[in-house]
Structure 1
Amino acid sequence: MFEFEPLTERCGGLLPTACHVCIGVSPFNSYFSTPRLRRMADWALTRFGNVHFFVPDALAACTLEALGYEPDHARRKARRQGQYVHNKIATALSALGVENPRRLILGMDRLYATPRYVTLLDDAYRCFREDEEFRAACLDATHWVLEQKLAPGTTASQEQLRGAVRYFLGELPLFADAGGIAASIAGVPGVPGVPSTPGVPDVGGHSPSFFVYHQRVGFLERFFARELAWRPVEGQGFLVVRDPVRPPAGVPGAEHPAETARALEVAHGIA
């Protein structure tokens, strides 16, 4: 069970009819253990019916280069870590009885071959070039990421930011239309997407979808509040999903954490 919260009020309005989530998994983040990935997959499949996992594997080389790795070393390191994360996700899904689990993993090779992703990526780069406020917001988000990886007291240079922002821009299409990208992949033999559901409002050929991550990001709050020049499609939302906080001993619910987590879901209007 997880505690989860729509990023904005508009995101909350999409929850009753959403039938797909895309879970973002950062390649070098130890938070995403195999047991946690299994629980997240179980939750997503139970609650929404359709799930994909997004792994920005090759993109991680952009951050590594910004941190000083030689380009070839950065690419090799990113590729090895990406394969490791893909394997963890596949193991988690297989444990739940999912057949051919790798079809539910979206790495960069698959995304670069997906028309909807490529179109959105072009749009993101165009807006980055042409809109000063959007560009500043992307660089600020990248600065926040790099500051957590650089030595204390070190500030990222403009050159580092310009290199590392490619990682962030590569993620943006999933924030903007994860459901549309999944539906686009449905055109590839053997890869299920997100078909329209009878009785559910249809948005661009697919039902409402959510991108899932365990942290709030300032850029995304502005993005999903539609304050920036580039915006998510109408049917795309964002959920912040975390492990529930266990109440201290003696507090009502401490002995039954599952019931406590269920109550949190009800409070957020999900259950």
Structure 2
Amino acid sequence: MSDSLISTKPSTFEARPFSDRCRQVWERGDHLLIGVSPGNSYFSPQRISELVLWAREFFDSVDIVYADLHVDTQFAAFGYTPEHAQRRAAKEIKTTARRIQRGVADAGWEAVRIRAVSDFLSDARYQQLRIAIEESLTGDPVFRQAAEGMARSFLAGRTPDGEEPTAEQLAAGLRYICAELPFFLDTPGLLKVPTSVSCYHVELPLTPVLFGRSEGLRAVPGQAYAVVRPGAAAPRPAAAAA
């Protein structure tokens, strides 16, 4: 894993590409993918605007993709009636889309594209990746364990402190996460860009599996991952860590 820090002006953001290969993709500067989850207060309009302005210093293009699949399934797994779960999910998704649109408008970079995960359901590459993910869930214990860890992390905000999610809740969390995973595996193939960096503000349990091993399901060579979060400026490293 690379410990190299990339930063710009104070009070903006710092980035840590996961590995040396991820850093090499970053340095190409082709494309950044910002993934946004409904109900996540981290992604305020101001935060999104700042992220877009910051990303413009490094990348030729930026896409923002927000999750809109299986949100209602999660609410249902936590006891909501089907009707209430659908209404609650629709409200969160609509609010998320509005926050993104406002943030991008405030940034003033018209080239930024905003897409929902559901926009890719008919995409052949997305379908191929979903099949590979489902096969790995049943045939790759390392991937399955990491995916469940990621689901538990995501569900932690919805479960009472110290309580493990039920089997139904964990299954709902996995469905939600698996719908997004193609963008950690092959954003270049999905968005028709030369290379891409997917970013989030924390390292995810699946990151070492998708970007750090030499077997099983993993990201394509042109796909990178970086933790991008607010931080004070620091000197740019001369080279990536070994």
Normalization by structure 1: what TM-score? Answer: 0.77
Quick check: 1:62–1:163 contact (8 Å CA) kept in 2? yes
Amino acid paired to 2:202: Q
Partner of 1:70: 81
Q: Distance in 1 between matches of 2:221 and 2:15?
A: 21
Q: CA deviation at 1:72?
A: 3.1
Q: Matched residue of 1:217: which SS?
A: coil
Quick check: 1:58–1:78 contact (8 Å CA) kept in 2? no
Q: CA deviation at 1:88?
A: 1.5
Contiguous gaps of at least 5 residues in structure 2:
1-11
Partner of 2:164: 155
Corresponding residue to 1:239 among 203, 219, 226 = 226
Q: Matched residue of 1:106: which SS?
A: strand
Give matches, 1:92-111, under 5 Å. Answer: 92-99=103-110, 104-111=113-120
Give matches, 1:117-136, under 5 Å. Answer: 117-136=126-145
Q: Distance in 2 between matches of 1:80 and 1:87?
A: 11
Corresponding residue to 2:125 among 86, 97, 116 = 116
Contiguous gaps of at least 5 residues in structure 1:
184-193, 195-206, 246-260
Q: Matched residue of 1:48: which SS?
A: coil
Structure with the larger helix share: 1
Higher relative contact order (CA 8 A, sep 6+): 2
Q: Distance in 2 between matches of 1:116 and 1:210?
A: 18
Amino acid paired to 1:225: G
Corresponding residue to 1:61 among 61, 72, 82 = 72
Count of aligned positions: 229
Residues 198-252 of structure 1, C-alpha deviation per residue, up to 9 Å, x if partnerless? xxxxxxxxx221001001122212321026621000110001011114xxxxxxx
Partner of 1:212: 199
Partner of 1:258: none
Quick check: 1:8–1:221 contact (8 Å CA) kept in 2? no
Q: CA deviation at 1:100?
A: 8.0
Q: CA deviation at 1:116?
A: 1.9
Residues 173-202 of structure 1, C-alpha deviation per residue, up to 9 Å, x if partnerless? 01001122111xxxxxxxxxx2xxxxxxxx
| 1:165 and 2:174 matched | yes
Partner of 1:188: none
Q: What is the root-mean-square deviation of aligned Cα atoms in Å? A: 2.1
Structure with the larger strand share: 2
Distance 1:100 1:238, change over 3 A: closer
Corresponding residue to 2:209 among 203, 210, 222 = 222
Q: CA deviation at 1:118?
A: 2.0
Q: Distance in 2 between matches of 1:160 and 1:268?
A: 45
Q: CA deviation at 1:38?
A: 0.3
4+ runs deviating over 4 angstroms: none
Which deviates more, 166-175 or 83-92?
A: 83-92
Corresponding residue to 2:41 among 26, 30, 40 = 30
Amino acid paired to 2:180: E
Q: Percent identity?
A: 30
Amino acid paired to 1:216: E
Q: CA deviation at 1:81?
A: 1.3
Corresponding residue to 1:82 among 93, 99, 102 = 93
Q: CA deviation at 1:42?
A: 1.2
